[in-house]
Amino acid sequence: MKILIATSNPGKIIEISALLKALPVDLIMPKEIGILTTPEETGSTYTENAMLKARFYFEYSHLPTLADDTGLEIDLLGGQPGLHSARFSPIRNARDTDRRKLLLEKLAGSPKPWTAHFICIVALVDSNGEMFTAKGQCDGEIIAEERGNNGFGYDPLFLFPHLGKTMAELDLDEKNQISHRALAIKAIFPRLSKMLSV
């Protein structure tokens, strides 16, 4: 069976491919089947955005589709950047480095620890067009200096205090044990398995 992974983010593709490697599926990316457009993320929650993306790509491809919406929430900033994590910087075509720089500017001078949470909602549209969702969350702290060369996004600033490592210092196997995306994928894994066994 083919499953469309509704992202063009290479980091997400690597992680999700590794998490689903035990399943007898071919993972397809939108551009591989000529889908070059993306939906506008107009939802007011992670769940709404994940479902919106999953439905959009399912209707384009007629393939079972897995999408996610992810955000970083920092307690000191009232949950920001949250839903707008990927669009946090006002700079046009901002890069991950621009977003991380702005985040540290907003936190500068505030008392530590800067407790934070990564949230991920995955949405699956199965072969029949039925929608399922699952959530993953991991908790940690934001640190003032970037560490690690793995991962993407805010990973170099997100520390797991009990490990003494940032998300970007974990290798892929380690990350896929404890990350928000890994936990969400694992939570929806039974539904994927059931879909494949029908």
The residues assigned a catalytic role are 69
Distances, alpha carbon 166 to alpha carbons 13, 95, 112, 154, 185, in Å: 20, 19, 16, 10, 21
CB contact set of 43 (below 8 Å; sequence gap of 6+): 49, 50, 51, 52, 69, 83
Question: What is the DSSP pairing of strand 2-5 with strand 65-74?
Answer: parallel
- What are residue 74's phi and psi, to 5 degrees? -115, 125
